[in-house]
């Protein structure tokens, strides 16, 4: 029996917002839950793309809770996608404290297990000054955030670099969200992440990407996914496994349905 949640990234069952591949589906978020339930999902990774997100509003949270209950779906994690636009090292202490206070209310309301913090591509740090500010703000998150919610860094760093970063902060509540697309795009070996960080892998994004930061591809049982599924029992602290897969312009419901069936049926062989 799986000890982790099988989720999908919010927005994969909605049309794109403008030209953005991943963004909070502001005009369709309520309708996604019914579609997700019919596919078989019981969990969702909620994404926060900006500060107007309804999960940050106490009154909207009542509506969210009602819709979740109706569709028998839980929020397994929250991803701070807005940090992709404004990296963590650029946040002031005042702004971050304000944001975390509001986020804590949502975390407690929905019993969130994991908070995802991006540090990749344009949101990563590039020098020692950025790194110092990043670690300072990360420690502030760990200090203020509800202790029942762990923090995972989603990065495009090598296994050794992310290992040393986690070691320098040394918190049991801090780990990583392992993104299979980033592993593939950078040419890393998934085996090295498992060997170095098996107890620190709190979440996993399942997707495929072309080498050198190409676009997301249609999901197949490639070597990384095969390794993940056959070794998933090594991840004692894994909270959720989340589909962040390819989405076409018009066929996204069928695509996510097929991806869910592929992963769910494969996991059954290892339960």
For the stretch 226-268, pLDDT in tens is 999 999 999 999 999 999 988 888 889 999 999 999 899 888 7
Distance, in Å, from the CA atom of 109 to the CA atom of 208, rounded to the nearest integer, reads 33
What's the pLDDT score for residue 64?
A: 96
pLDDT value for 2:
60
Instruction: Using alpha carbons, select from 15, 83, 27, 13 the residue that is nearest to residue 51.
Output: 83
- Rounded Cα distance between 121 and 135, Å, is 17
Beta-bridge partner residues of 115: 78, 151
Continuous H helices in the chain:
29-39, 58-71, 82-85, 93-110, 128-144, 159-169, 180-186, 190-197, 223-231, 252-268
Cβ atoms of 138 and 88 closer than 8 Å: yes
pLDDT of 196: 97
| The pLDDT of residue 267 | 85
d(C-alpha 160, C-alpha 71), whole Å = 41
pTM for the model stands at 0.93
Does residue 149 come out as left (phi exceeding 0), alpha (psi in the -120 to 50 range) or beta? beta
User: What is the structure's pLDDT at 17?
Assistant: 87
Task: Give the chain's residues under pLDDT 50.
Answer: 1
Contact status, residue 264 vs residue 20, Cβ threshold 8 Å: no
Question: Are the C-beta atoms of residues 90 and 126 closer than 8 Å to each other?
Answer: no
């Amino acid at each position: 029996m799986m000890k982790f949640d099988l989720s999908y990234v919010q927005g994969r069952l909605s049309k794109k917002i403008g030209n953005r591949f991943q963004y909070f589906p502001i005009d369709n978020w309520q309708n996604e839950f019914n579609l997700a339930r019919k596919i078989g999902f019981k969990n969702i990774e909620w994404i926060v793309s900006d500060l107007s997100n309804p999960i940050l509003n106490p009154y909207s949270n009542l509506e969210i809770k009602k819709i979740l209950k109706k569709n028998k779906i839980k929020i397994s994690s929250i991803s701070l996608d807005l940090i992709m636009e404004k990296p963590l090292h650029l946040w002031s202490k005042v702004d971050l404290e304000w944001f975390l206070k509001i986020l804590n209310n949502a975390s407690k309301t929905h019993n969130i297990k994991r908070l995802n913090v991006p540090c990749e591509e344009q949101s990563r740090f590039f020098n020692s000054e950025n790194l110092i500010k990043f670690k300072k703000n990360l420690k502030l998150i760990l200090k203020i955030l509800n202790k029942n919610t762990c923090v995972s860094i989603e990065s495009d760093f090598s296994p050794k670099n992310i290992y040393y970063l986690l070691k320098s902060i040394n918190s049991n509540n801090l780990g990583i969200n392992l993104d299979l697309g980033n592993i593939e795009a950078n040419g890393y070996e998934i085996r090295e992440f498992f060997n170095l960080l098996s107890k620190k892998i709190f979440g996993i994004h399942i997707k495929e990407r072309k080498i050198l930061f190409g676009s997301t591809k249609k999901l197949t049982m490639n070597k990384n996914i095969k390794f993940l599924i056959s070794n998933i029992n090594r991840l004692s602290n894994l909270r959720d496994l989340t589909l962040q897969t390819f989405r076409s312009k018009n066929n996204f419901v069928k695509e996510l349905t097929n991806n869910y069936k592929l992963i769910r049926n494969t996991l059954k062989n290892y339960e």
